[in-house]
Structure 1
Amino acid sequence: MLCALSGEVPEEPVVSRKTGTVFEKRLILKYIEENGKEPGTDEELDPEDLLDLKTSRVVRPRPPNFTSLPSLLKAFQDEWDALVLDAYNTREQLARTREELATALYQHDAAVRVIVRLTKERDEARDALSKVTVAPSAGGASNGDAMAVDNEGLPEALVEHVTDVKEQLMQRRREKRPAPEGWASPDEVASFQQASYSDLSVSQASSLDVEANYAAIGGFDGKVDIYSIEENNVERSLDIGEPVTATVWTGSKVILGTSKGTVKVFDSGSEAASFQIHAGAVTDLAIHPGARLLASAGVDKSFVFYDLETLQKVSHCYTDSALTAAAFHPDGHLFGAGTQAGDIKIFNTTDGQQVAEYELGVPVQAVVFSENGYWFAATGKGQQSVTIFDIRKEGAAARVKELETGDTQSLAWDKTGQFLATVGSTGVTVQLYLKKAKAWSEPLRTSVPGTAIAWGADAKSLVTVNKEGVVSVLRGN
C-alpha cells in the first residue's frame, strides 16, 4: 500500500471511507486542516471519515540508489541540478513580473498626468468663459473685448405653446376677475403669526418651493426635505450629493439646481433627468406659467430653457454678466434675469433676445413678477428695501415704488398680485397694494428670520426656512 499523497509506504496508514484511498495519517490530517476536502476530489472530508489500517511491522529496505556512495553522490547531484533549474525559472519569472509592474506604473502615471492636464484646461476654460463679455449679435459695433454670441431660439412647437399660453392668460387678465373665492383677505394676512415650526434634516437651507400642502426645501449640504405643511413633519428626504442652490416644484416634479452647475429633475421621488449645461453654479430656477418650460440661470452668464415633457434642453442664451436671479412674466412671453452687475434684464422667451433693462445698482438677490402683468419686484444684496419696477416705462420712471422692508433675501408675490411677502435676517413682512386706493400698506411684520419664503394654498399661510434648517409656517387666527 502506498500513500496517495507521498507515493511512499505509510507508517500510519489510514483509508478514506468515501473513496477508499490510502493516506499517510499525518499528511492527510494537515491537508484536511488546510483545505477541508479529499485530495483530487471536491468531496468534503473530516478526520472522522478516516479509518486506521493495521499492518504488520516490517523493516523497509533502503532504495537501491542509496546503498552506495556513488549512488548517493548521483542523487545529490540530481537534487542540486533540479534546485538550480528551479532557481533560474524563479529569477526569470521575477524579471518578467518587474517589467510588467514597471509598464503598469508608467501607464498609471501617464493617465494621472492626462487627467490633471484636462482638469486644468477645463477649469481655465470655465474661468475664461465666466470673464467673457457677450454682446447681442443684433446690436451695434462691439468693443475690442466683446464677443458676439447668437442665442438659441425655442423650437417651433414650443414657440406655439408659449404664444397660446400668453393669449389665454392675457385674456383672463383683461376680464379683471376678482380674487378667487376663499382667497385670504388683508385682515386674515394681518393676523398671521408663527403657528408651527420644525427642525429639518437639511442644514444650511438655501431654497424652498411650495406645491399644494407640501414644501420642498434644499440645502447647501446636498439634501432636500419634502415637508408636510399640514402635518408639520418631514415625509421624506433626498440626497442630491451636491450643494443645492435653487428649488422649484411643479406638479409631480421637484427640480433642483446645484453649485456644480447641475439641474436635476425628480418625478414622484425618483430622478428623471440630470443636465450639466452650466459652466458654474446654478443660481436660480423658474417655471413657465404653462408648466412645460423650465429656466435655469447661472454664474456663467447664461440661461437655459428645458422642455419638461421631453426632458431635453431646448435653448441656451448668453448675457454680458453673471446671472443671480430668474423669473417668468405671468403671461410667459417674457423672462427676467437679475445680474451680478446690478441690472434686471428682460428677454423674449421665444428667441432669447433682450428687450429691456432696468438698473437696481447692486447685485440682484431676487426678482419676482406681479400677477397684474406690468410690475416686478427686485431686491439686492445688502439692501434694506424692495424696489417695484413698471415694465411699461423706461429709465428712472420705471422705479414706481421703494418699500422699506429691512434686510430681504427672498420675495414671493401671491397669485392675485395683492400681497408681496419678503423675508430676511430681520424677519417677515407682507406689503399690500390696494388697487382702488392705489396705495401701499404693510399689514404684517414679524421677527421670524429666514432665507426663503413661499405662499401656501389660497394665500392663507406663509412658509419660511432659515439657514439653520428650521421651517416655520405662519397662519391667521
Structure 2
Amino acid sequence: MVNCAISGAIASNPCVTPQGYTYEKRVLLSLLTTNGGICPQTKAPLSEDDLIDIIPAPQSTIPSAPTSVSGAGFSGLLSTMQSEWDSLMVETYTLKTSLEETRRELSQALYQNDAAVRVIARLTMERDQARAMLAQGGGGGGAAPAPSGGDAMEVEKSGSSAVPASALEVMTSTWNDLCKERKERKGAAGKTTRETVSGYAKKSSKTIHKSSGKTGINAVACCKANPDLIATGGVDKQVIVFNTATEKVVATKAAGSKPVNAVDWLDGSSFVSGSGDGVVKLFGGENFDEVATAEVGETVVAVDVHPSGKYVFACTGSDVSILDAGDLGVLARLGDGETDNYTRGGLHPDGLIYVAGTDKGDVHVWDVKSGSKAASLEVSGPVGGVAFSDNGYHLAVGGDDGATIFDMRKQKVIGKAGSGRADAVAWEGEGKMLAYSQGGKTMVVEAKKWEDVVVTCGGHGKDVRDIAWGEVMVTVGMDRKVIVFGK
C-alpha cells in the first residue's frame, strides 16, 4: 500500500515523482493545475510527463482498491464526493504550507524590527554625543584638518576605542545587580558536589558535522535559557543547534566562508558565531535564521555575550570589538595597536573585564570601562583556552603544560592542573569544579585540589577542542564528535 504525500490516504492510483515522493495521481494533477506545475515537496518544476505510475506485481498480496464505478445514481454521487475530497486535501495542504511560510516571515520580521529599533537608539545616542562635543568645542578656534589617505582610516579605528557612555551605564548597572545577587546566594548549598561529578559517565556521542573535506568541531556553547540546547561551530563552516535530550539536530546554519571558531548564546532563541573570515553573525527566531552580520576584519577567535544580553565581545587576532547585540554594529574596540596574535578570549562574569591570550603565552587583561590594558599574565606556549569561575575570582588558562589557575584579585598563580597541552578549559556553574582537556580526554578537578583528578571523561579519537558545562558537560573535538557527560 502506498500513501499519498498530500492527503495521507492510501492511493488507489499511485505514482512517484523523479524526486522519490509518492502521491495519489489524481490529487497531484489537481494540485499541479493550480500551482503552476511545481512539486509540493521540493518546489522543483513538475509535469504530468514526469510522473511514473506504480503498478503492483502480479503476485502481489496487497488487496486492490474497489473498482471505481461510473454512471449515474449512487456511483455518480461517490465520484462527486471523491472529487470534492481531493480538492479539500489540496486546499488543506496549500493552507498548511502557507501558514508555515507566514510564521517564518513573521519571526524574521520581528527580529529585523528589534534590530532597527536598536539601530535608531544607537544613532540617536551618537547624534546627541556629537552635538554635546560640538557645543563644548565650539569656542576652541576651529577643528584640526582631517588627515588624508590611509591615516584617516587609522584615526577612525583608534577613535572608536572609547565605549559609549550609554553602554557603560548599562554595563555598570549590570555589574551592580550581579554583585548583589552573588552576595545573596553566598553560603547557600549548591547542587554540584564531588560525589555528583565523580559519577559522570557518557550519556551520548554524536557526529553531527560534515565528514567530507577538512573536519572537526572548534567550539561549543550550552544554552542557559534552554539547558537541552547546545550550539557547535565546525571546521565545515557551519553552526549546528543540537538538542541533547532528544539527540536530534534542531538547525544547521552557514556561518561564514572559513571554519567557525566560536559560538555563544544570547538567550533561548538566538546565538552568535565568529569565523575565520572575520565575520560575526547573529541567528535568531523559531528557525534560528540569520538576523545580522558584522565584519570585524580578522580571524575571530572568541565571541562572548555580555551578561546584560545587549552587547557582544568579538576577539580577533589583534583586538577586541564590542558590538551591539541587536544589529552587531561596532561600538568600540579594545586594543593598543600592536599585533598581538590573540588565540583565545573570554569575558569576566561581571562584564567589565576581558582577557585575551596570545600565541606566545601572554594573557592580556583589559579594563572595559577605561579601554586600557590593566595587567598581563603569562603561561607556557600558545594560549589554548580561558575561563572565569562563577564569581570571577579565578581564571583558568590552558597552555602547553596543562591548565594554569590565577587569582585575579592578586594576579598570581595559585595552582596548576595537568601536564600536557590543554586546548580547552571550563568551570562548572558554581565554580567548584574545573574541566580541562588533555589530548582526547577531559579531566575534572576540584577547586583548590588542582592535582586531584575527580573523573576522567574520554571517548574522543582526536584532540578535544572545546568544553561547555551547563546542566551536563559537553566536549567536542577534531573527530567531529559531540559527547555529553552527566550523572
TM-score by length of 1: 0.63
Match of 1:236 in 2: 251
Amino acid at match of 1:308: A
> What amino acid maps onto 1:159 in structure 2?
L
Q: Deviations over 1:9-45 (max 9, x none)?
A: xxxxxxxxxxxxxxxxxxxxxxxxxxxxxxxxxxxxx
Task: Verify: 1:401 aligned to 2:420, yes or no.
Answer: no
Q: Does 1:157 align with 2:172?
A: no
Q: Whole-Å Cα distance in 1 between the matches of residues 237 and 413 of structure 2? A: 38
Query: Do 1:327 and 1:368's aligned partners in 2 also have CA atoms closer than 8 Å?
Result: yes
Structure 2 residue 264 is the aligned partner of structure 1 residue 263 = no
Q: Which amino acid aligns with 1:237?
A: T
**Matched-pair contact (CA < 8 Å) for 1:284–1:297:** yes
Q: CA deviation at 1:246?
A: 1.2
Q: Which residue of 2 aligns with 1:216?
A: 231
In the alignment, structure 2 segments of 5+ residues that lack a partner are: 1-149
Task: Tell me: CA distance 1:179–1:296, structure 2 relative to 1, closer, same or farther (3 Å).
Answer: farther
- 1:414, CA displacement in angstroms? 1.8
Shift of 1:151: 6.0
Residue in structure 2 matched with residue 206 of structure 1 by the alignment: 218
1:444 alignment partner, one of 455, 460, 471: 455
The answer to whether the 8 Å contact 1:179/1:416 transfers is no
1:113 corresponds to: none
Q: Structure 2 residue aligned with 1:329, among 348, 354, 358?
A: 348
Match of 1:363 among 374, 379, 382: 382
Asked whether the equivalents of residues 283 and 323 of structure 1 are also in contact (C-alpha less than 8 Å), the reply is yes
Letter of the 1:452 counterpart: D
Is 2:209 aligned against 1:195? no
Residue 484 (structure 2) aligned to one of 464, 467, 473: 473
DSSP 3-state at the match of 1:157: helix
- Are the counterparts in 1 of residues 418 and 451 from structure 2 also a CA contact under 8 Å? no
**Can you list the C-alpha shifts for 1:349-373, whole angstroms capped at 9, x where unaligned?**
1232111111224221111111232
- How many residue pairs end up in the alignment? 319
Which amino acid counterpart does residue 392 of structure 1 have in structure 2?
R
Asked whether 1:307 is paired with 2:316, we answer: no
Matched, 1:411 2:425: yes
SS across alignment from 2:384? strand
| Distance in 2 between residues matched to 1:192 and 1:265, nearest whole Å | 33
1:70-81 pair list within 5 angstroms: none
Structure 1 residues 442, 317: CA separation in 2 closer, same or farther (over 3 Å shift)? same
- When residues 165 and 384 of structure 1 are mapped into structure 2, their CA distance, relative to the original with a 3 A threshold, is same
Q: 2:197 corresponds to which letter in structure 1?
A: V
SS of match in other structure, 1:392: coil
Counterpart CA distance in 2 for 1:291 and 1:386 is 29
Contact 1:151 1:317 in 2 (8 A): no
Distance in 2, Cα, partners of 1:177 & 1:254 = 30
Structure 1 CA distance, aligned partners of 2:379 and 2:275? Answer: 26
- In 1, the alpha carbon distance for the partners of 2:322 and 2:438 equals 29
The question of whether the paired residues in 1 share the 8 Å contact of 2:426 and 2:435 is answered with yes
Tell me the amino acid that sits aligned with residue 301 of structure 2: T
Query: Aligned residue for 2:333?
Result: 316
Q: Deviations over 1:272-324 (max 9, x none)?
A: 1111122x21111112222222111112x111001113532111232331211
Q: Deviations over 1:145-173 (max 9, x none)?
A: xxx95661211111111111111112233
Q: SS in structure 1 opposite 2:182? A: helix
3-state SS in 1 of match to 2:357: strand
- Paired position in structure 1 for 2:302: 284
State the SS of the aligned residue for 2:203: strand
| 1:17-56 map, 5 Å | none
Query: Equivalent residues in 2 for 1:235-254 (5 A)?
Result: 235-242=250-257, 243-251=259-267, 252-254=269-271
Greater CA radius of gyration, 1 or 2? Answer: 1
Any unmatched runs of 5+ in structure 1?
1-127, 138-147
- Deviation at 1:392? 2.1
Change beyond 3 A, Cα 1:196–1:405:
farther
Name the SS of the counterpart of 1:416 in structure 2: coil
Q: Distance in 2 between matches of 1:276 and 1:316?
A: 13
**Corresponding residue SS for 2:179:** helix
